[in-house]
Amino acid sequence: MSKSSPNSVSGDTRCRKCRRAGEKLYLKGARCYSKKCAIERRNYAPGQHGPNARPAKPTDYGKQLREKQKMRQMYRVLEGPFRAYVAEASRRRGVTGENLLQLLEMRLDNVVFRLGFSTSRAQARQLVSHGHLLVNGKPVDIPSYQVRPGDTITIAEGSRRMSVIQDALSGVGSRIPTWLSLDAHQFTGKIVAAPRRDEVDSQVQEQVIIEFYSR
């Protein structure tokens, strides 16, 4: 698995999605936190008329669709599974929108990214699929696997020297959310608690998405 493979494909396409949305969707992971981010350099819609384009006034449906697509793109979830997440969020107690965000945040691939074992969710998905992660000491290769508070996520012993993991951990800084803990020396992270809404930095209007599916 090469260092550049997970992020080299369709990189410009991901940046165009952020520019079209007018905000960071964090589709390129660590790059989105740097000055190299497309939104930092060119915060206008893609295309030759981008800088001077007059934005159309969105309808309520358009706003809902945009938020739904934005969240799907951020967490890299197809429409079918995303609908299933919405249905599950509706069945749970509490605020449906926050339940949805919590379900997506507690996917294994997202947790791997949040812990700093990868530089993007795309890369995290690949690491999980290729069998480089253990959950509570057992190998798990399903990116959508739902972790729970108390679970321990560990990089497999034979994968710890991989450059993509070493490079990701070297640049993780202070981006670990409060609902997770990381021991970088042991290549281990732990789910301290289920994330609260104020602990998730995803800039989405989750309740608008619920309205979209409630039409």
Q: Is 54 exposed, middle or buried (0-12, 13-18, 19+ CB in 10 A)?
A: exposed
The fraction of the chain above a pLDDT of 90, given in percent, is: 66
- 35 vs 133: which has the higher pLDDT: 133
For the chain, what is the mean pLDDT? 85
For the chain, give percent helix, strand, coil, nearest 5: 50, 10, 40
List Cβ neighbours of 102 (8 Å cut-off, separation of 6 or more): 89, 194, 195
pLDDT category, 3, cuts 50, 70, 90? very low
Q: What is the pLDDT of residues 84-107, one digit of tens each?
A: 999 999 999 999 999 999 999 999
Highest mean pLDDT (candidates 56-70, 96-110, 174-188): 96-110
pTM, 2 dp? 0.76
pLDDT at 174 over 70: no
Residue that has been written with the tokens 């493979």 in this structure: 5
Domains of the chain are 7-57 (1.10.1050.10), 60-106+200-215 (1.10.1050.10), 108-193 (3.10.290.10)
CA 209 to CA 86: how far, in whole Å? 9
pLDDT category, 5, cuts 50, 70, 90? very low
Phi, psi torsion values for 191, nearest 5 degrees: -85, 105
Structure tokens, 92: 């749970």
